[in-house]
Amino acid sequence: MPPAMLAIIACYLAHLALEILPLYATPMAQFELFTPSMVVIGLYGVAMSVALWRKQPWARVWLVLTTVIAAFLLGRLLWRGVSIAQWPAVAAGILRIAVGAMLFLPSVRRWFAQRRA
């Protein structure tokens, strides 16, 4: 596994932590289904990380597509103005965009191409 792939998985998991953990300090955390919802989102992230680890091409495509959406949402957040309290959301968006960009590195592209060969 190329070191860039390990960096992608680490950044993706850090992105999830920065998206989920700060929400526990908001009033949304008081809702009954909040914790189960966050657990499902966390499990989704772990499943995507495992799919990347196992060289699943669909996982790479899916992450690139959802990264485009994340970039759009980060752009909207920045356009509206960001308060200092929203720094985890901005950091999560930046990490997500970094993950999407790193998926196109030559070593990562070869990593996924080996599966098809």
Q: Phi then psi for 24, rounded to 5 degrees?
A: -70, -15
| pLDDT value, residue 47 | 94
Q: How many domains does the chain have?
A: 1
Give the contacts of 3 (CB within 8 A, at least 6 positions apart): 107
pLDDT at 83 over 70: no
Band (79; pLDDT cuts 50, 70, 90) = confident
Q: How far is CA 72 from the centre of its chain?
A: 14
Q: What is the pLDDT of residues 17-72, one digit of tens each?
A: 988 888 888 888 888 888 888 899 899 999 999 999 998 889 989 999 988 988 88
The predicted model gives 97-106 an average pLDDT of: 91
- Mean pLDDT of all residues belonging to the chain: 86
Tell me which residue range forms the domain holding 36.
3-116
| pLDDT value, residue 8 | 92
- Measured over the CA atoms of residue 92, residue 98, residue 102 and residue 103, the dihedral's sign is positive
pLDDT at 88 over 90: no
